[in-house]
Amino acid sequence: MDPARRADYLDAMHTARDNSAVRHTVETLTAEIGQIVGERQDLRAAGATTAELEENRRRLASAQSRLSLLLIERYLPAVGAA
């Protein structure tokens, strides 16, 4: 990966980490997952290192996990609601 692309990728990664403190919704996390997947495709096309791909994979897995929890919160009936 050329140095300019790597710098752009690292900037985006840090921004994503900073934004992770924000309370996400299902919709914002779905958009974030789409962005991370796009980054992964760009990384692969650019010949990224194993470490770069692993960092992206971890971000993707984390976002997917958070999305699962939000979906459970949204659709699981509240205890005692029935």
Per-residue pLDDT of the chain (82 residues; tens, 9 = 90+): 566 766 666 566 555 555 556 789 999 999 999 999 999 999 999 999 999 999 999 999 999 999 999 999 999 977 666 5
User: Considering only CA atoms, which of 34, 38, 41 is closest in space to residue 67?
Assistant: 34
Q: Give pLDDT, residue 80.
A: 63
Q: Give pLDDT, residue 70.
A: 94
Structure tokens, 56: 């992206």
- d(CA 39, CA 58) in angstroms, rounded, equals 13
What letter represents residue 38's amino acid? G
Counting other chains too, the contacts that 43-46 makes at CB distance below 8 Å and 24 or more residues apart are 43/1, 43/9, 46/1, 46/2, 46/5
